[in-house]
Chain A
Amino acid sequence: DAGITQSPRHKVTETGTPVTLRCHQTENHRYMYWYRQDPGHGLRLIHYSYGVKDTDKGEVSDGYSVSRSKTEDFLLTLESATSSQTSVYFCAIRKEWGRTDTQYFGPGTRLTVL
């Protein structure tokens, strides 16, 4: 699936601890996205990147930061995790083919904050 991996795949942490999730792609796509998925809310965009060191906020960015120092890696950091950040996190890349831009998703990271 477009060479996207996420690590870790599962994580349990405690409130107040920092957490970093990693998204890695092998196809050199310019755009990368971080979403969280919660029951009843669908997929909500946290942050996205349109190039190395170029990032922007999504609709639920509070409590999250991102970094992209290399094209292939997009990191999502929770500076001080809270229980409300328990969720499944998906990374995605944007693939452009012809007149269609579609997103391809990684396998997801299930994060539990106790």
Chain B
Amino acid sequence: GQQVMQIPQYQHVQEGEDFTTYCNSSTTLSNIQWYKQRPGGHPVFLIQLVKSGEVKKQKRLTFQFGEAKKNSSLHITATQTTDVGTYFCAGEDTDKLIFGTGTRLQVFP
């Protein structure tokens, strides 16, 4: 079945440093979604990418969808302590989402 891999599993950064998480699918995706889960919280939708090569920005967050629609990345510029949490990508498979294993981001002040 479809698999979505995400790296790294953990990332610790100093506040102000950049952060990137990568997502790779075993199959071509119709779209990819990104979610953020704060510690002790539930996943919250951030964005959906649909088009090959698409790039979207939300303030300091930049999301990219690969040309082959099999990979994606999330880049955070100048991290802040509010960015702490786990970031998940998810690929759509018919009526359901296949989530990556997530990247847990810790930001030290």
Per-residue B-contact encoding for A47-79, CB less than 8 Å = 1, 0 else: 010100000101100000000000000000000
**How far does the alpha carbon of A104 sit from the alpha carbon of B37 in the complex, in Å?**
12
User: Among A44, A48, A50, A102, which residue has its beta carbon within 8 angstroms of that of B48?
Assistant: A102
**How far does the alpha carbon of A33 sit from the alpha carbon of B97 in the complex, in Å?**
10
Q: Report yes or no: B92 in contact with A42, Cβ–Cβ below 8 A.
A: no
Q: Which of B39-47, B55-63, B64-72, B73-81 contacts A (4 or more CB under 8 A)?
A: B39-47
Q: How many A-B residue pairs have CB under 8 A?
A: 50
Q: Report yes or no: A43 in contact with B88, Cβ–Cβ below 8 A.
A: yes
List residues of chain B with CB within 8 A of the CB of A33.
96
For the residues of A in contact with B, the DSSP-based class is strand
Q: Report yes or no: A106 in contact with B99, Cβ–Cβ below 8 A.
A: no
Q: Report yes or no: B45 in contact with A48, Cβ–Cβ below 8 A.
A: no
Q: Report yes or no: B99 in contact with A43, Cβ–Cβ below 8 A.
A: yes
Per-residue B-contact encoding for A14-30, CB less than 8 Å = 1, 0 else: 00000000000000000
Shortest C-beta distance, B72 to chain A (Å), equals 15
Q: Report yes or no: A42 in contact with B1, Cβ–Cβ below 8 A.
A: no
Residues of chain A whose beta carbon lies under 8 Å from any beta carbon of chain B: 1, 31, 33, 35, 40-45, 48, 50, 56, 58-59, 90, 94, 99-108
